[in-house]
Structure 1
Amino acid sequence: MNLDIEFVLPHWLYWSVLLILPLVVMFLVDRSFRRGGTISGGDTAEVPAGQEVEVSYQPPGNLFTNVVDRISGFSGRYVAYWALIAPFIFTYEVLVRYAFNSPTNWAHESMTLMFGMQYLIAGAYALREGGHVRVDILYQRAKPLNRAALDLVTSIFFFIFTIALLSTGWKFFSQSVSDAYFFGSSYANETSFTEWAIQFYPVKFMLFFGALLLLLQGIGQLLRDGQSYRYHWRLHQGSRTFARVLLIVAGLLAAWVAFEMVNIAVTDYDSLAGSLEGVLGNVGIGSLTLVMFGSLMVVLVAGLPLAFVTGGLGVCFLYLIGTQDMLNLMPSRIFPMMTNYQLSAIPLFIFMASVLEKAGIIEELFDVVYKWMGGLKAGLAIATIIASTLLAAMVGVIGAAVVTMGLIALPAMLKRNYDPEIAIGSIMAGGTLGILIPPSILAIIYGVIAQQSVGELYLGSLIPGLLLAFMYGFYCWMRGTLNIKLAPPMPVEDRVDMKEKLRILRKMLAPIILVILVLGIIFTGIATPVEAAGIGTFGALVVAAMHKRLTWPNLHAACMSTLVASAMVMWIIFGASIFVGFYILQGGQTFVQELISGAGLSPYAVLLLMMVLLVALGMFLDWVGILLLAVPIFVPLIEGLTFDGLFGLPGVNATDVSLWFGVIYLVNMQMSFLSPPFGYALFYIKGVCPPHITMAQIFRSSFPFLGIQALGLMLVILFPALVTWLPNLAYG
């Protein structure tokens, strides 16, 4: 009997589901809230509320800003509910492939395109919610008036990026439809290259539409920045000179941008007198490197979100070094990221994390581990690290574990008289394990950028991740043993017997089975990491239902937090891909490689130099920005080197160098999250700490665990088999 399923999703049904389903979910969610529905778990998105700098004055806005906020809110909510479709589609794909020998292309393609459109539309909502990550080096230390002036200055780069994307995005879209309706040469009715042959023009339209939504939200933000400037100008005590200078700079930049826009609009080949188009065209690559990365650091520390720093500067250098036609590089760099299949795993794993967290299952997980380990010296800190390890294996969301464990474990440890530095350090270190323990989202992006197998990266990082978790726990146990007052065990009256431990363990069977399922189907090759993420998310929905917490309010909260987190990551990728892509196009990759290789350093000295540079970047930049700036340059160079081993120890097989370096990179990025003064874990935990915990205490708490991470990095370098043994065993 032939069990083949020949179903192919009709195009009209695909677009109908995307259009109608969000409206149905909105109705059900709103009805549930009206009937008293509540969210079970906490509110711990990838970018916690406590990370942003609180200001006493909130600009009131006006009619325009209120309308724009509503538009951004509705559009964000609309596309957020698309995430509910993917778990069912990917589960269907794996089922029909293995049960009925009927693999499909449309399942993967439809979801990849859906998420690509979601990323673009979600940018405005993330901006409204403050979800775009910024580096607050000078910004948070500035006086309120100067901070408002910095907002006005840096907004110029935001508008450079969004207006350029709006213009080039429209041209990119129009060329994919038909000459009958739009000007210019065209790929009339452009479709995908698979047998599904879906039309690309609705997807490409989102480049224009997403930029339009972002531009409107940015104008609303600019109006609020102006209100804030006027308010603080009236209240400011002392000199206003710096604020005046910044305002003059903003005016000059705005005038220059307006003039160059006129130049682009009225000329084709000959620029207007005074235009800066192509003015840096003859600058050498060495000087260009200093100019590009010097200006990047200056604008970055001024407080503009990283996505718009890199994107805005990328547009500037496209214009200053090339010609106005080179601006069309923007959509051609962003569209491949929108439609990259591997990157679809990011929103899926984040959604999986959000479903488990909103359903309160992560809190139950910690409670179970705490009751099992609490009797040990420093048992609560060890329980936190074990729970963080399990949490990392469930979700792979960087930062979520730090905030979640901070909300759950920190009050419990402080209540039991733990030394604050041990309590905070164990939470931050355990939380960063999400970088290494599969399914790490950082590993997914690294695999895409470095053209490395994500499955091999997962297997290669598993042993180093577990090794670091053991080292964290052993350090806490040693501190508790040497001085029991620093980390006392659980009081005797709070302990439970083995029978009770086994009883409460049953509550965690479903989440643990989910972890084994997700990792098992990746490691055995049954499904790709993207499919595993879809199946894992479907499993998370089942687990939430088993715990009677699969409610519309919980699903709504999970969808919205997923939207902000994935939009933040993807817009950084979009902006950085323009900046880095142009630098590489100008020969930057070759320049840096020749600079390092020409220094006459040994392979291990080159590796050491890279590690130092990555740690230094980690003190200031977001992990996605570091990856997109450094990996395209470092990986080709490292692949050409031979590592024969240090101190007589075995070296690295040439075929394993890329995998080995990938895991070394992941371990290094774990350090970047704890590196003062601007490691992101430091600010994640500050957002959930009691007021009496100072940043100085948080900094001190990170140092011992940074030392452990450095030791772990050294072990991975000295003993490459820690990385390569498991992948070679599994894949040969």
Structure 2
Amino acid sequence: MNLEINFVLPHWLYWSVLLLLPLLVMFFVERSFRRGGIVDGGDTAEVPAGEEPAVVAEAPGNLFTAIVDRISGFAGRYVAYWALIAPFAFTYEVVVRYAFNSPTNWVHESMTLMFGMQYLLAGAFALREGGHVRVDILYSRARPLNKAALDLVTSVFFFIFTIALMVTGWKFFSQSVSDAVFFGSSYANEVSFTEWAVQYYPVKFMLFFGAVLLLLQGIGQLIRDFQVYRQHWQADNGGRAFAMVLLGLGVVLAGWTLFEMVNVAVTDYDSLAGSLENSLYGMSIGGLTLVMFGSLMVVLVAGLPLAFVTGGLGVVFLYLVGDQAMLNLMPSRIFPMMTNYQLSAIPLFIFMASVLEKAGIIEELFDVVYKWMGGLRAGLAIATIIASTLLAAMVGVIGAAVVTMGLIALPAMLKRHYNPEIAIGSIMAGGTLGILIPPSILAIIYGVIAQQSVGELYLGSLIPGLLLATMYGLYCWLRGTLNIRMAPPMPEEDRVGMGEKLRLLRNMLAPIVLVLLVLGIIFTGVATPVEAAGIGTFGALVVAAMHRRLTWPNLHAACMTTLVATAMVMWIIFGASIFVGFYILQGGQQFVQDLITGAGLGPYAVLGVMMVLLVALGMFLDWVGILLLAVPIFVPLIQGLSFDGVFGLPGVAPADVSLWFGVIYLVNMQMSFLSPPFGYALFYIKGVCPPHITMAQIFKSSFPFLGIQALGLILVILFPALVTWLPNLAYG
């Protein structure tokens, strides 16, 4: 009996669903809010009725900014609701593949293209919501007037990146749709290369349209920045000289940018007199390295979001070292990231975590673990680490885990007179386990950049992740045992019997089974990580329904949270891929490799230098930025080295070096998150701490756990079987 299903999604139906489904969801969401519906857990990140977002009182904006905000808000909501399609699509694919022996290509391609379009259109909404990560080391410490001046100066790089993307994106689109109408010179009515043969030009159009939305939102932000600058100028009684110098620099940069735009518009091969096009051609790679990365650090600390720092500077150097024709590399660097299948797992895992959070699972998870472990010395800290480990298997995003556990566990520990250093340290260390414990989003991006199997990375990082969690818990227990006042156990009157513990555990059965299901189908090879993420999200919707939290307001909030988090990650990837891609194209990768190997260091010394550099970068940069900047340069160098072991210990097989280094990199990123003075976890936790908790206390609380992480890193380096044993057992 033939049970095969030969359904192939018609193109017209695919585009119709993308066009009409968000409007239908908007109707139900707004109706639910009008009837008194509320969001469980966090807030919505977007007002459903289309109201203007709250803005800082000193930057009121005007009619233009209000209109742009509404456009960005509508576009963000529109594409955010696309995420609701993916769980059902991927679940359908796995079911028909195994139950009916009818695998499809169209499911994977349709969802990949859908998310690719979502990334581009979400950039403006994330900018409106302040979702783009900025390195505010010096920026946050500047006087308000100087801060406002910095915003004006650095906005030039934003507009360089956005306008270049808009112009080259239009050309990229026009070449794929119609030679006659859009002046293209390449394909006409371009379609994908699979048997589904869906039209590519709507996807490529989003490069242009997303840049237009981003440009409009950026102009609105510039208007507000001018208002803020004017108000601080009038109110500031201190020195204004530095702000005037910054503003003058901004005018010069803006004037130069406009002149070069005219040069691009009116010339092809011969530049206008005074143009800087091609002015750095012939510069040595050593000099180019100093100029590129020196300017990167200067603009970074000035406070511009990382995506636009790297993207804007990438455009500048494409133009200065090459010429205007090289700017057309931009869409050819971004489009492969838009349409990368494995990156589709990022929004799905974030969506899964958001749905579970709205369902109240995370609060229940901590309560259950605390009731089980509370009788131990430092039981609440140990419960925090265990809950963080389980949360890492649901979330995969580090900031979310630290903040969530900070909101839930920190008040409970301080209420029970825990030493703040134990309380804060256990939350920060446990929260960073999301880097290692599958399904780590960092591991997904690393796998894409380093051409490494994500499934192998997940298996390889599992034992080191659990090892670190055990070491964190053991440390807390020892501190609580040696000094009971630092981490007292749960009072006798608050403890529950075994019957109550089992009842509480029964409430967590569904989400735990869901996590085991997702990880199980990845590790056994039943489904890809992307399919597993889709199935996991479908399961999260079922769990939310079981907890009676599957409401339109909660779905809305989960979609919007997912959109902002995904846009932040993907736009950093877009910007950094231009900057790093150009540097590698100029020979930067080979230069760095020659520089390190020329120092005469052995393989393990080279690895040690890389580890120090990564920790140092982690004090300043976001984790995505570090990965995009460092991994493309480090991985090829590591792959060419032999690691035969030290102190008579076993070495690493050549075939396992890339996997081993990948897990070492993930462990190192845990250290970077906790490294004072600028580790990101330190500031995540500061945002949810009571006012009396100082940064000095937070720094001090990180040191013991940093030492544990360093020990874990050393163990993974000395005993590579901690990484390679499980993948070799599973895959041979």
Deviations 1:519-558 (A, max 9, x none): 0000000000000000000000001111111111110000
The match for 2:495 is 495
Q: CA deviation at 1:697?
A: 1.2
- 2:206 matches 1:206: yes
The match for 1:247 is 247
Are the aligned partners of 1:122 and 1:567 in contact in 2 as well (CA < 8 Å)?
yes
Q: 1:377-416 to 2 correspondence within 5 Å?
A: 377-416=377-416
The match for 2:85 is 85
Are the aligned partners of 1:394 and 1:514 in contact in 2 as well (CA < 8 Å)?
no
Are the aligned partners of 1:44 and 1:404 in contact in 2 as well (CA < 8 Å)?
no
The match for 2:564 is 564
Q: 1:202-601 to 2 correspondence within 5 Å?
A: 202-601=202-601
Tell me the SS of whatever aligns to 1:194. Answer: coil
**Aligned pair count?**
724
- Looking at structure 1, the residues matched to 730 and 250 of structure 2 have their Cα atoms a distance apart, in angstroms, of 57
- Looking at structure 2, the residues matched to 178 and 42 of structure 1 have their Cα atoms a distance apart, in angstroms, of 46
Which has the larger displacement, 674-683 or 19-28? 674-683
The match for 2:27 is 27
- Looking at structure 2, the residues matched to 396 and 138 of structure 1 have their Cα atoms a distance apart, in angstroms, of 29
- Looking at structure 2, the residues matched to 359 and 226 of structure 1 have their Cα atoms a distance apart, in angstroms, of 42
Which has the larger displacement, 696-705 or 275-284? 696-705
- Looking at structure 1, the residues matched to 237 and 143 of structure 2 have their Cα atoms a distance apart, in angstroms, of 10
Q: CA deviation at 1:644?
A: 0.7
Give the AA of the match of 1:209: F
- Looking at structure 2, the residues matched to 23 and 434 of structure 1 have their Cα atoms a distance apart, in angstroms, of 35
Q: CA deviation at 1:55?
A: 11
Are the aligned partners of 1:152 and 1:225 in contact in 2 as well (CA < 8 Å)?
yes
The match for 1:172 is 172
Q: CA deviation at 1:686?
A: 1.2
Tell me the SS of whatever aligns to 1:145. Answer: helix
The match for 1:643 is 643
- Looking at structure 1, the residues matched to 100 and 723 of structure 2 have their Cα atoms a distance apart, in angstroms, of 37
Give the AA of the match of 2:416: R
The sequence identity of aligned pairs, in percent, is 87
The match for 2:50 is none
The match for 1:182 is 182
- Structure 2: runs of 5+ lacking an equivalent: 46-53
- Looking at structure 2, the residues matched to 253 and 595 of structure 1 have their Cα atoms a distance apart, in angstroms, of 33
Deviations 1:132-168 (A, max 9, x none): 0001011000000000000000000000000000000
The match for 2:18 is 18
TM-score w.r.t. the length of structure 2 is 0.98
CA RMSD of aligned residues (A): 1.0
Which has the larger displacement, 34-43 or 416-425? 34-43
The match for 1:631 is 631
- 2:657 matches 1:657: yes
Tell me the SS of whatever aligns to 2:181. Answer: coil
Q: CA deviation at 1:398?
A: 2.1
Are the aligned partners of 2:93 and 2:103 in contact in 1 as well (CA < 8 Å)?
yes
- Looking at structure 2, the residues matched to 174 and 292 of structure 1 have their Cα atoms a distance apart, in angstroms, of 32
- Looking at structure 1, the residues matched to 388 and 443 of structure 2 have their Cα atoms a distance apart, in angstroms, of 18
- Looking at structure 1, the residues matched to 206 and 375 of structure 2 have their Cα atoms a distance apart, in angstroms, of 55
Are the aligned partners of 1:671 and 1:709 in contact in 2 as well (CA < 8 Å)?
yes
Q: CA deviation at 1:43?
A: 4.3
Tell me the SS of whatever aligns to 2:398. Answer: coil
Are the aligned partners of 2:44 and 2:560 in contact in 1 as well (CA < 8 Å)?
no
- Looking at structure 1, the residues matched to 343 and 158 of structure 2 have their Cα atoms a distance apart, in angstroms, of 25
Judging changes above 3 Å, is the alpha-carbon distance between structure 1 residues 79 and 56 closer, same or farther for their aligned structure 2 residues?
A: closer
The match for 1:614 is 614
- Looking at structure 2, the residues matched to 547 and 603 of structure 1 have their Cα atoms a distance apart, in angstroms, of 53
Deviations 1:686-722 (A, max 9, x none): 1111111111111111111111000000000000000
Give the AA of the match of 2:571: W
Are the aligned partners of 1:121 and 1:210 in contact in 2 as well (CA < 8 Å)?
yes
- Looking at structure 2, the residues matched to 356 and 184 of structure 1 have their Cα atoms a distance apart, in angstroms, of 47
- Looking at structure 1, the residues matched to 687 and 15 of structure 2 have their Cα atoms a distance apart, in angstroms, of 41
TM-score w.r.t. the length of structure 1 is 0.98
Deviations 1:355-387 (A, max 9, x none): 001111111111000100011110000000000
The match for 1:95 is 95
Q: CA deviation at 1:725?
A: 0.5
Q: CA deviation at 1:598?
A: 1.1
- Looking at structure 2, the residues matched to 380 and 172 of structure 1 have their Cα atoms a distance apart, in angstroms, of 56
Q: CA deviation at 1:42?
A: 2.5
- Looking at structure 2, the residues matched to 614 and 664 of structure 1 have their Cα atoms a distance apart, in angstroms, of 11
Q: 1:130-149 to 2 correspondence within 5 Å?
A: 130-149=130-149
Which has the larger displacement, 679-688 or 196-205? 679-688
Are the aligned partners of 1:39 and 1:359 in contact in 2 as well (CA < 8 Å)?
no
- Looking at structure 2, the residues matched to 700 and 581 of structure 1 have their Cα atoms a distance apart, in angstroms, of 39
The match for 2:67 is 67
Q: CA deviation at 1:57?
A: 4.9
Which has the larger displacement, 420-429 or 563-572? 420-429
- Looking at structure 1, the residues matched to 184 and 402 of structure 2 have their Cα atoms a distance apart, in angstroms, of 51
The match for 1:722 is 722
Tell me the SS of whatever aligns to 1:303. Answer: coil
Tell me the SS of whatever aligns to 2:277. Answer: coil
The match for 1:9 is 9
Deviations 1:364-417 (A, max 9, x none): 111000100011110000000000000111221221111110110010000001
- Looking at structure 2, the residues matched to 610 and 472 of structure 1 have their Cα atoms a distance apart, in angstroms, of 25
Are the aligned partners of 1:160 and 1:315 in contact in 2 as well (CA < 8 Å)?
yes
Give the AA of the match of 2:218: G
- Looking at structure 1, the residues matched to 447 and 192 of structure 2 have their Cα atoms a distance apart, in angstroms, of 24
Deviations 1:228-276 (A, max 9, x none): 0000001102110000000000000000000000000000000000000
Q: CA deviation at 1:464?
A: 0.1
Which has the larger displacement, 684-693 or 1-10? 684-693
The match for 1:51 is none
The match for 1:50 is none
Judging changes above 3 Å, is the alpha-carbon distance between structure 1 residues 621 and 55 closer, same or farther for their aligned structure 2 residues?
A: farther
- Looking at structure 2, the residues matched to 398 and 392 of structure 1 have their Cα atoms a distance apart, in angstroms, of 8
- 2:702 matches 1:702: yes
Are the aligned partners of 1:58 and 1:228 in contact in 2 as well (CA < 8 Å)?
yes
Q: CA deviation at 1:296?
A: 0.2
- Looking at structure 1, the residues matched to 205 and 42 of structure 2 have their Cα atoms a distance apart, in angstroms, of 36
- Looking at structure 2, the residues matched to 240 and 96 of structure 1 have their Cα atoms a distance apart, in angstroms, of 68
Give the AA of the match of 1:147: K
Q: CA deviation at 1:44?
A: 9.9
The match for 2:48 is none
Are the aligned partners of 1:44 and 1:403 in contact in 2 as well (CA < 8 Å)?
no
- Looking at structure 2, the residues matched to 160 and 430 of structure 1 have their Cα atoms a distance apart, in angstroms, of 40
Are the aligned partners of 2:58 and 2:227 in contact in 1 as well (CA < 8 Å)?
no
- Looking at structure 1, the residues matched to 559 and 223 of structure 2 have their Cα atoms a distance apart, in angstroms, of 29
- Looking at structure 2, the residues matched to 121 and 25 of structure 1 have their Cα atoms a distance apart, in angstroms, of 18
